[in-house]
Amino acid sequence: MDVLSEGGRRFLTATAPEHTAVQAEMAELADEWEFPIIGPDAGAVLRLLARLTDAERVFEFGSGFGYSATWFLRGGADAVICTEFDVEEAERGRELARSYGYDDAVTFEVGDAMETIDRYDGPFDVVLIDHQKSRYLDAFREVLPKLRHGDVVVADNIARGPIDFERLVDHAADGRPLPTTEADAQTHGIGTYVEAVRANDAVETAILPVGSGIAVSTRVE
Ligand SMILES: C[S@@+](CC[C@H](N)C(=O)[O-])C[C@H]1O[C@@H](n2cnc3c(N)ncnc32)[C@H](O)[C@@H]1O
């Protein structure tokens, strides 16, 4: 059952943060191309996390043309390292950053984010995991040693299909095995990620039902 009444939901929509000019342009592009951006509700959480951590450096796994990065910048982050294996998306991101004058604050690294992260030492104040769900846990394992106490990891699309939520519920409730077929890779990826961050004493995690669902973990040791 949805805990929000229709009126409550309309109120939240009406009070969501407004886009800046570049974000509005990016949101239009995303609509046109059906490209999945994090959206303003979850974006506002990224902005808040950058503000709360007084972020200097942010690392993103999967940046597209940099919409999520603009939310970190709005929260005062000094630098966002964007990763994208689609050359055209990255170039579009660079062009937008140049034309709106924030190109000194974003770096677009073209290639597999899982390789790019090896070339960057930490620490990162905030990390966004938003690439292939089947690789979320690998990304988390890569960045955990690069985080200090209080640094944050956000994983997007926790509740965005195609995911077999019944299998996830059965696994969480009764320990029934997660599916392992190729077709179920996204279900398996989200199931193993959430299980791992919940079980790991190095982090505390809350899953927030904003946007497509985000898991927010902070390093506590
Ligand atoms: C959900 S979109 C990212 C949206 C972006 N974070 C935002 O909210 O504006 C995922 C992007 O990750 C890219 N991607 C997927 N796997 C990747 C990988 N292993 N390395 C780099 N980019 C990857 C895809 O090409 C796609 O553009």
Q: What's the pLDDT score for residue 11? A: 87
Task: Give every CB contact of residue 145 below 8 A, 6+ residues apart in sequence.
Answer: 122
Integer Cα distance of 206 and 104 in angstroms: 32
6-155 CATH: 3.40.50.150
Q: What's the pLDDT score for residue 138? A: 98
Distance from residue 1's CA to the centre of ligand 1 (Å): 31
pLDDT tens for the chain, 221 residues: list them.
Answer: 566 788 988 888 888 899 999 999 999 999 999 999 999 999 999 999 999 999 999 999 999 999 999 999 999 999 999 999 999 999 999 999 999 999 999 999 999 999 999 999 999 999 999 999 999 999 999 999 999 999 999 999 999 888 889 999 999 888 899 988 988 899 999 999 999 999 999 999 999 999 999 999 999 98
Q: What's the pLDDT score for residue 14? A: 85
> Hey, which of 34, 130, 135, 136 would you mutate to test ligand 1's pocket, going by the most ligand atoms within 8 Å of its Cβ?
130
- Residue 178 gets which letter from DSSP? P
Q: What's the pLDDT score for residue 182? A: 87
Q: Which two tokens stand for residue 123?
A: 């620490």
For helices 185-199 and 136-143, give the axis angle rounded to 10 degrees: 30
Distance from residue 11's CA to the centre of ligand 1 (Å): 31
Establish whether residue 35 lines the binding site of ligand 1, counting it when its CB lies within 6 angstroms of any ligand atom.
no
Closest CA to 83 of 106, 103, 108: 108
Closest CA to 117 of 146, 93, 88, 151: 146
Integer Cα distance of 50 and 33 in angstroms: 28
Integer Cα distance of 100 and 214 in angstroms: 28
Question: How do beta strands 106-110 and 214-219 pair?
Answer: unpaired
Q: What's the pLDDT score for residue 3? A: 66
Integer Cα distance of 155 and 137 in angstroms: 10
Establish whether residue 151 lines the binding site of ligand 1, counting it when its CB lies within 6 angstroms of any ligand atom.
no
Establish whether residue 64 lines the binding site of ligand 1, counting it when its CB lies within 6 angstroms of any ligand atom.
yes
Query: What are the sequence ranges of the domains in the chain?
Result: 6-155
Neighbours of 89 (CB within 10 A): 20
Q: Atom 5, ligand 1: which residue's CA is nearest?
A: 63
Q: Atom 16, ligand 1: which residue's CA is nearest?
A: 131
Distance from residue 61's CA to the centre of ligand 1 (Å): 7
Q: Atom 13, ligand 1: which residue's CA is nearest?
A: 62
